[in-house]
Every structure is written in C-alpha cells, then in structure tokens.
Copies of this chain bind each other. A is one copy, B any other.
Amino acid sequence: MRRRVTLKDVARKSGLAVATVSAICRGKGDFFHISRKTQERVLRIAEKMGYRRNSLAFSLRTGSSNFVAVLGRTFRIPVTQERQNFIAQLFIHLGFQALLYDFHWFDGKEEELLHTVEEIPCAGMVVSDVNTRRLFQTLRQGQTRLPCVLVDSEYHAGLDHVYLDRSSVSYLAASHLLKTGYTRIVYTIPVEKKFWLLQERRRGFVRAMAEAGRQASQANFLWVESEGKFSYQIGLELGEKIATSRKKPEAVMALNDQIAIGLMRGLQRRGLRVPEDIALVGSENLPEGEFCQVPLTSVDFRVKEVAQQTVELFRRRLSGDWSDFPKEIVVQPELVIRSSCGCR
C-alpha cells in the first residue's frame, strides 16, 4: 500500500523547501535563479521517487484548471466517436486532462450529465451535437467567459461554433452526380427533424441542381422515418422501396454511409445493380465504404480538421483572446470518388 509521493516528500528528501521544489518541478527554476545543479539534483530525486503532480491540488490552488470537458453524442456513431477521440488526443498532448462524456449516458436528460460535469471546475468545455433547445439553454446559462466551443450543433447562436459545411456535402455529391450525367436524383432526408443542419443539406442540393440548370422539386426528396432505427436497417428498407417503386431514380444520395451501405444491399436484393441501374453516394466517408461490394463514393467529413480547428479556437479563448467572439468556423468537406457512381 504505497502512499502517493508528494512535493513535501521530495522536499524533505532533497533538504529544500516545498516552494523551491515546486518551482523547479514547474520548470520555473531559472526564473527564480535556482542553480542548475540544484535543479538537476531535485529533478533526479523527484523522478526516482516517482513524484507526479497532483492535478487536483494544482487546479484547486491556481483556479486555472487543467481539465477540459468534451461532451457529445457518440455512442455507436463512428464519425462523432472519431471526432471526440481526435479532440481528446489533441488536448491530452497539449497537457490538458480531457474528460470525455457521452450524452447517451443520461439519455433524454442531458442536463443531468452537465451536473456531473460541473462537479469538476474545468478550464472550459467542448460540446458537440447540441441538438435540443433545452440543452443549449442550460449551456448558455452556465458559467460565461469560460471557453465553450460548440461543434456541429443545431443550436449555437451567440457561442463559438465549429462545424462541417453541410450544404457543401450535398452540393459536392449532387454536382458529381450531375456532372457524371445523372439527372433523376433522389436525396434521402429524415422526416422528423426540421433542423438547420438538414436544411443546409437541402440547400446545397438545390444549389447544385440550379447550377446545372435544373429546378429541384419535392420529387427529389425522399423523406424517411429514422427515429429509433439503425442506419443500416433504414438503408435496407429504403433500398427495397426504391427498387420496387414505379419510377426509379437514376441516382440516390444517402444521408450517410451506413444508410448508403444498407441501401446498396436493399437494391441488390431486388436485383438492381450499383451503379449500372442506380448510382449511389454516401457521406461521412467511413472506412467500410471502401470495402463495400461496390466501393462507395462519399463525402468526407474531415473530422481531424474539425477537431484541430476546435482545439485551436479553444486555446485562443483560454489565452484570453475573445476578439472575434462568437466565431463561426466552417470546415469544408471533400468528395471521395470510388465506384458507386460509375461514369457515364
């Protein structure tokens, strides 16, 4: 039952005062004109004794917390999972303690999760997927002037926000299809949510059509009920529905890759080939898209770039630079062409 080694222990061992050892360990030895020899000796002793700074005491004393909370809805969603992971990794390498939380843990009552988070005085937080007004309001009335960067969030007014340009996602996909020669295109959109992020998708699609001299109409949108269903399942059902519909589209844009993959199966099950009978584009660019039966053309969400921009903005705020608050950073997606759209 070894006790934790504290500064006091190191101080005693090296015959110096705690404050001196503290300064040395923080790398402020030169600043206090402590002789190099002493510094090295102390560091060696600390190392040998296995001294580790106690983050808790540090934060308590300085008020300047080492912790940053990273919240989001990531359960079973590869792309958000990955985003959180990159964000955490960046923070850790900058010397922060990244605290990861998933809204899924308190499903339906995200506010309770925030209570748990609040028990730790953080330097700030990064919150993704703020998709309910209640959650957003709880966030807003929280401690102000602590950096709070939102990511890919439906609600974000008046706060820093980093997000992927959804209108470009559909613009890129639709333009590619149109350029390839498809004109009867169907875009699958979930029916329940009237979210801005989804409307952006619609807008991007409409824009691409317009540029090709076409007018998008209701017939171009396939509204799907996604509530509570698994993406692959949604796709599968959609695929079968499309395959058996009277007037089949030439190309389908799926809301994401998992839906696209399910859709591909649904189409094939009904004897249709991708891309010969129907072309298909996904979005997100999940790794498995590359290994579909027909490698999937998709639009990459650039999670790494989103993560970097987020952490960078967070740091600026933390360092006191609020000159451009609230800032909106829009990351551009990237088209990844594989085989599922063929070439005409």
Measuring CB to CB, which residues of chain A are less than 8 angstroms from any residue of chain B? 1-2, 4, 52-57, 59-60, 66, 74-76, 78, 81-82, 85, 88-89, 92-93, 97, 99-102, 104-106, 113, 115-116, 118-121, 143-145, 230, 232-233, 235-236, 258, 261-262, 265, 268-269, 287-288, 290-293
Q: Is the CB of B2 within 8 A of A144?
A: yes
**Which one of A93, A101, A120, A236 has the greatest number of beta carbons of chain B within 10 Å?**
A120
Decide: A1 and B145 in contact? CB cutoff 8 A. Answer: yes
Residues on B with beta carbons closer than 8 Å to the beta carbon of A291: 230, 232-233, 235-236, 261-262, 265
Per the bound structure, the CA–CA distance linking A118 and B4 in Å amounts to: 10
Q: In the bound complex, what is the Cα–Cα distance between A82 and B104 (angstroms)? A: 12
- Taking a contact as CB atoms closer than 8 A, the residue among B105, B145, B290 that contacts A93 in the complex is B105
* Residues of B contacting A258 in the complex (Cβ-Cβ under 8 angstroms): 288
Q: How far is the CA of A89 from the CA of B74 in the complex (A)?
A: 13
Residues of the B chain whose Cβ atoms lie less than 8 Å from the Cβ of A88: 100, 102, 105
A102 to B90, CA, bound (A): 12
Please judge, given known A-B contacts A1-B145, A120-B55, whether A82 and B93 are in contact too, CB under 8 Å.
no
A143 touches B4 (CB 8 A): yes
The answer to whether A119 and B52 have CB atoms under 8 Å apart is yes
Partner of A287, one of B82, B85, B106, B230: B230
What is the chain B residue whose CB lies nearest that of A116?
B92
Given contacts A88-B105, A105-B93, contact A287 B55 (CB under 8 A): no
* Smallest beta-carbon distance A115→chain B, Å: 7
How far apart sit A74 and B100, CA to CA, in the bound complex (Å)? 13
Pick from B60, B76, B102, B145: contact of A56, CB under 8 Å: B60
A143 touches B2 (CB 8 A): yes
Q: Please give me the 8 A-B residue pairs with the lowest Cβ-Cβ distance, nearest first.
A: A232-B291, A55-B119, A100-B100, A89-B105, A56-B56, A52-B118, A1-B145, A56-B60
Give complex CA distance A269, B292 in Å.
11
A334 to B236, CA, bound (A): 26
Please name the residue on chain B nearest to A142 by beta carbon.
B2
Chain B neighbourhood of A4, CB < 8 A: 121, 143
Q: Closest Cβ of chain B: how far from A52's Cβ, in Å?
A: 4
Known: A89-B104, A100-B100, A102-B88. A56 touches B233 (CB 8 A): no
Measured between alpha carbons, how far is A243 from B335 in the docked complex, in Å? 33
B residues in contact with A265, CB < 8 Å: 291-293
Interface residue from B60, B269, B293 paired with A60 (Cβ < 8 Å): B60
Q: A56-B121, A97-B99, A100-B100 are in contact. List 16 more A-B contacts (CB 8 A).
A: A2-B144, A52-B118, A54-B120, A54-B121, A56-B59, A76-B82, A81-B81, A88-B105, A92-B105, A230-B287, A230-B291, A232-B288, A233-B291, A265-B291, A265-B292, A288-B288
A118 to B328, CA, bound (A): 36
With a cutoff of 8 Å between Cβ atoms, the chain B residues found around residue A101 in the complex are 92
